[in-house]
Amino acid sequence: MNHKSWLDKTVQMAVKNVKNGGGPFAAIVVKDGEIIGSGTNLVHQHHDPSAHAELLAIREACAKLASIDLSSATLYASGEPCPMCLGAAYWASIGHIYYACSKNEALQHANFPNPLAEYFPDQEKAPEDRQVPFIQIETDDARSPFHEWNKRNNE
């Protein structure tokens, strides 16, 4: 299958998901011509703001490969990934990302917000001045988990 065919599949999945009460997004992760992960937007059904199609597809693909390295895989999404999904894709080292509908099209045709316009500029502010203030409080052993991590991984 070519990129357009994979994207057509995600769009069909998204339409079916809407008909079943879900959100208008779907995603698949493909490796060596095989779907190794798939997901549809289940945010409202699960009352879970992290139940985005891309996250579910990435989770399933990682579980199937027993690895967090998806550098040899491709993510196909019916809509341009939001910052949360993009972050997950980067953490998983996704090899390529293809999408069918841009974030601006989602805003124009479905009144979905453009999270990039709001969240990325907010992250440029000092933590305490963000829309949701970030406040760091020093504790005696705040860095202990990292020391343990280094000990375990450098043995």
Residue linked to tokens 């997950």: 88
What's the average model confidence in pLDDT over 42-64?
96
pLDDT at 129: 86
Give the pair of three-digit tokens for residue 68: 């967090």
pLDDT at 116: 55
Is residue 69 very low, low, confident or very high in pLDDT (cuts 50, 70, 90)? Answer: very high
pLDDT in tens, 33-44: 999 999 999 999
Mean pLDDT across the chain = 90
54 is a catalytic site residue:
yes
The CATH topology of domain 3-116 is Cytidine Deaminase; domain 2 (3.40.140)
The domain spans of the chain are: 3-116
Q: Phi and psi (nearest 5°) for 23? A: -80, 165
Instruction: Name the active-site residue from 34, 54, 128, 138.
Output: 54
Please count the other Cβ atoms lying within 10 Å of the Cβ belonging to residue 52.
25
pLDDT in tens, 116-151: 566 667 777 888 887 878 887 889 898 888 888 888
- Show the DSSP H helices in 24-140 as ranges: 43-46, 53-65, 83-91, 103-110, 115-124
* Between residues 52 and 138, the one the model is more confident about: 52
